[in-house]
Structures are given as C-alpha cells and as structure tokens.
Amino acid sequence: MIGIQVEYSLADRTAERELLPMAEEFGLGAALYAPLAGGLLTGKYRLSREGRLSRWGVGAHVEDSEHTTALLDGVLAVAEESGTSAAQVSVAWLRARAARASTALIPVIGPRTTEQLGEYLAALDLVLTDEQYDRLEQAGGVALGTPHETAAAGLAAALGGDATRVRRHPVPVI
C-alpha cells in the first residue's frame, strides 16, 4: 500500500484520530476528498438549503451544532480579513495543514463548474498567517478521545508535565 483515501476538511477532521497519524507513521500518502465538506465550508448553506444538500439528505454536512457554527464563523471571518472567499480559506487551511505534515496530504477536488474550479485555483495564492491558521485549527479541532488523550496525559504526567521533552523517532517501514 502506498496511500489511503479519507474524507478530510475543516468540518470533518476525524481522520486525525487514527488514519492520518497512521499514514504519517508508515510514510503513506493521503488523498483527501470533500475538502469543502460538500459545500458546507463555502458558507452557501447558511442562506439556503438548495442544491446538492437538499438532494443528499442523510450524510450531508450541515450547520447543526455550536461547534459547526463557530467553525463557519471563523472561516468567514478569515475570508473577510483576507478579502477572499470561505472556499479559498478552507482550501488554504488544508494546504497549510499539508505543509506541516510529514507525508503527502493531497486534496481531491470536485468542481462542477468553471467558477468552482476558479475558487480552488485562487486558493493556491492565499497564504494564511500563523494566527489565522491557529484560529482555524482551534475552531475546527476534533477531540481525539480515548486512547489518545489518556496516553498523552499519562506521558505528560510521567515527564513531570512536559511531554515535549521526548523526541519521537520514526518507525522504519520494512
């Protein structure tokens, strides 16, 4: 195996629990589909449920929680600051996330119109500030849950509260 394919966006970061760490550990690339969460991260569904969302029904990403509302508020705020669109901010975050990864994270785009393709391409020119990236990271973060949080807390306690003192060594892939 040389790679995995997984849904991944600011709106769905559950792959951070196990799949992306596994891909990084074993040197696998990751093809990331639905980078705009089916249109949710464009902000267009805040005004209307028309379009693909109304046809998908179950399984579509919707603004149905305080977490999602805070995330969309954050994306739209960064878009306004940058003078760009929410779609461009969402893709720029994904590119910035990929730049920080130790393996290839490759967004799989699916524009249906030339306008949508233009949005994706314009995102290549947008570079988020560290502060903007951190705000989006915090707004879109997903709790890693057990066993990850338990192990991190145990490691921090074993090291007197500072787990950064341990440097991880990559496991060789044979």
CA-closest candidate to residue 89, choices 116, 63, 130, 119: 119
Q: Does residue 174 lie within any of the structural domains? A: no
Tell me how many domains the chain contains.
1
- pLDDT at residue 48 above 60? no
Q: Does residue 81 lie within any of the structural domains? A: yes
Phi/psi of residue 134, nearest 5 degrees: -65, -40
Quick one: tokens of 14? 């559950």
Q: What integer is the mean pLDDT of 132-151?
A: 80
Domain that holds residue 88: 3-165
Quick one: tokens of 95? 């590119």
- pLDDT at residue 150 above 60? yes
Burial tier of 146 (Cβ tally within 10 Å: 0-12, 13-18, 19+) = exposed
Looking up tokens 């020119």, which residue turns up? 125
Q: Does residue 67 lie within any of the structural domains? A: yes
Q: Does residue 170 lie within any of the structural domains? A: no
Residue 144's pLDDT band (boundaries 50, 70, 90)?
low
The reported pTM is 0.76
The total number of residues written for the chain in this structure: 174
Position 45 scores a pLDDT of 74
CATH number at residue 84: 3.20.20.100
For 94-133, the pLDDT digits (tens) are 999 999 999 999 999 988 899 999 989 999 999 999 999 9
